[in-house]
Structure formats: C-alpha cells, structure tokens
Structure 1
Amino acid sequence: MLRNIILKTLRDRRRSLLFWGLGFVVLAAIIIAFYPVIRDATFITEYLESFPEEFMALFAGEITDYASAEGFLNGELFFLMYPLLMLVFSIGFGSGAIAGEEERRTLDLLLSNPLNRWRLVMEKFAAMVICTLLLAIVFWATLAIGGAIADMGLNLLRLAAVCFSGFLLAIAYGTVALAVGCSRGKRGLSMGVSGALGVYGYMLNALAPLIDWLEPFQVASPFYYYIDANPLSNGLDPLHAAVLIGLTIFFLVIAIATFERRDVAV
C-alpha cells in the first residue's frame, strides 16, 4: 500500500481523468467551431432575443451581446455547461474519497498504515484539487488554442480567470461531498446532498434576478460568486474568489473533525 495517498489516488484516477480531459477538449472544440457561424449570422442573435427572458436567464444568463466572443462563450459554456461538468466531476470525486473507500471495505487498509485520519482526508482533498485543476487547465488551453484559430480575440488572462473561478466553485461543492462522506460514510448520500445543493445554488442564482423576493437571497448561492462578476470580461473578482475558498475551508474543517471522531466500517 502506498504511503503517499495523493499519488495512489492520482494513479487510481488516471484513466478516468484521461477520459474526462478528452471530453472537455471535445466540448470546447465543438463550441468554438460554431462561433464563426454565430458571429456572421445576425439573424441568430435576433432569434435568441425573441426567447422569453426567463428561459434565457435559466440556461444562458444575462447575455448582452451573443455575437461577441465573450457573450457566446458565457452563454454556451460558462453559465451552465462548464460548471455543471466540473461539479459532476468534483462531487463524484469528493463523495468517493472517503465514503467510497469505506463502502469498498478498503478504508481499513489505508488506516492500517502509520497515517493520521486528518492526513488521509487532506491528501484525498489535495488529490481532488489536483485532478479538478488539471481539467480546468485542459479546458483553458483548448479554448485558448481554438480561440486563436477561430480569431475570437480572447484575453487569455480573463479566460483563465473564468476557468479558475469554475474550478473554485467545483472544489467548494466537492468539499461538501467530502464532508458528508466523512461524517456519514455513505457515498450515495454524499452525492445526493451535494448534488441537491448544486441544483439549489444554480437555480437560485439564475432565477433571483427575475423574481423580486428571491433577489436578496442571490448572494447565498455559490454560483453567484462564480459568475456574477463576469470574469471572462472583467477578470477574477478577489472577494468572490475568497468567498468560494472560505466555503471550501469551512467544509474541509467539518470533514476532518467528523472523520476524526466517527467509527468507520471495516
């Protein structure tokens, strides 16, 4: 058994990570391939403007110029598709980090090594951060290369900002999944709770601008801190990034504290 849990986890995840990375490359390439058509066809923009405001807010956010590279990528990728895929990956990773090992009856093998429980959680968390960050980098690199080929005129630093912001969002939800898994030891419950919170966060952020009584609660959604400042156009908002990092630290502390005190199935 490897004493370095990070390396062991990365080794176990290498095939899954490869397929996820290829999926992100294909998604980015397909979306970029459509951009020249959208840019040159003004009737498409007019057609999209005819959609109900509620529909556009739910699936594409508040886009002011769909024909621009930033508006197109925000609507097609960064408002829904990119964070959705990143959350699916991180929640799956976080829920399986401890609870998955426990359900497979392999957790006792890890704990039989001279390894503190807090260190096990931290190394599993670090592996999740590394894998999720690699996906964000692959996505950024594909968009940067494809954007240059398609002459989209993207600012690479601001493109990195929105990709990194999505990474922070994914890690926050992945850490929620990790915390539930550490406290209850059930992967299904961990995925269900964190997934439900993800749906709640997305719907709240998307619908709050349209519903007066919901608007004050928009700041309760992690998605607000991911996309509200429009990092693709304005760069990363340090305060919003700090909120997502703070949420991650909060749930990581919960994960460690509950796992240290709980009896585990062996």
Structure 2
Amino acid sequence: MSITTSSIRAEGFTPPGPGDFNLPPLGPDKTFEWLGQTHYLGVTKPMLQLVLAAVLVFGFFFVAARRQAMVPGRLQFVGEQAYGFVRNSMGRDIIGSRDFMRFVPYLFALFFFILLNNVFATIPFIQFPTFSRSGMVYSLALLSWLIYNWVGIRHHGFLGYLKHQSVPAGVSGPILALLIPLEFMSNIIVRPVTLALRLFANMLAGHLLLILFALGGEYLLLHGATLVKPVGILAWLLFVAISFLELLIQFLQAYVFVLLNAMYISGAVSDEH
C-alpha cells in the first residue's frame, strides 16, 4: 500500500499525500531534480507491475484458448466469456458490425491490462495501483490517440479527417468560426488528456483514501486517547468497506477507458460527424 514509516511520527499524525506514490527504484538510488521535484532513475515497482500484468494477461488467455474444445472446460469458458464481453459490448455495439473486428484484439488486451493493474491496488503484498502514476496513464492515452487518429486519417485522408473532426455536420455560416476551433481542441487535442486524467485521478484518490483510513485508524488505536479509540475501529471498518467499493471502481475505470477508446475509433471511421 506504499505505506512508509515516515507517515506516522512521534509528534503527531502526518496524513498521507502524493509523496506516498513516489516510490523509490528497486536498486541503486539515483535521482535528479526537474521542475522543482525529485525524480528517480531506475526500475520502480509500477514498472514491474506493468510487466507482470502483461505476462499474466497473456499467460491466462493463452492457456484458456489453447485447447479450443467444442465443450469448453471452466478455464476456456471464462476466457470465452471475457472475450465475448469486450467483443460485443465494447467492440460491435460501439464501433459497429462493419469495422469492429480489427479493433477487438486491441480493446480486449487494453481492458484486461488496465483492469489487472487497477486490481493490483487490492492484492496483498502488491497493494499499489499502477495507474496512480500519471506517466503510466498518459502513455496509454497517447497510444490510443495515435490509433484512432491514424485510423481516421486512413479512412478519410488527412484533410478529410481534419474536416470530419472539426466541422460539425449541418452547420454553416459565421458560427463555424467559433465551432471549428472548439471542435478541433475537443476532438484532437483534449481527448487524450481527459482520457488519462479520469483513470489517473480515480486510482490516485481511491488509494489515497484507503491509506488515510488505514493509517488514521492505526494512529487512533495506538496513540489516541481512550475516548477516540472506537473511532480508530470505525476507520478500519470504513477501510474495509471502501476496499470493496474500490474493486467496483477499478472495474468501471477500465471499462470506461476502453469504452471511450471504442467511441473515439467509431467516430474516426464513421462517415458522419
């Protein structure tokens, strides 16, 4: 849970903050200063979680799809249901039956990769959401931005795609001088930022809340007065309750991220804006 001993000090309770997410490298401690902040050089825990998630997702679905029996076993059944969920609800239903199949592998891998990295926040001995680090999320958002823009350019041509994304259908006259810059900013520039920010902020805030209730409850029980110790027990109960709520949020954030990807791809390949 990225809880450090500095979070509780003898002179009082120090609430957790964004610094608890700045994990040191697993190895030589090399740092550099940039924009007034200390940054680490080397392999960190979130980096290893990205690799671990990729290996686990690939390994599970490789094993689940290996036999391809007519009557599926339990593992194959789970794999088929997982694939069907992404294929149908986020591929076919959003992109459309004409174009969706070529994007299903990307959407499928993206959904379970994000989901597992989110669930890492509640897995014992890991207990850290990978995408609570903004750099990890913006990398995914940049990949999504490149894909849906490239698809749109291939479908419409460069100038045709810019017109498709910037000029609202059925609108003419002087109002276009206002709408075209707004549409361009919204559809081309701002999308990857909001896509990443939604996932990053939810993972950061949720985990920060868990740390607060866990450490606050511990501090009240160990260092608080007798009358406030029951509040420490209540804080731990809330910690458990919020942990279950976080599981739902972890799934929803993975779903929303991939759903928006599918919507952006659908808009890029559609013939109408």
Structure-2-length-normalised TM-score: 0.35
Name the structure, 1 or 2, with higher relative contact order (CA <8 Å, separation 6+). Answer: 1
Bigger radius of gyration, 1 or 2? 2
More helix by share: 1
More strand by share: 2
Structure-1-length-normalised TM-score: 0.36
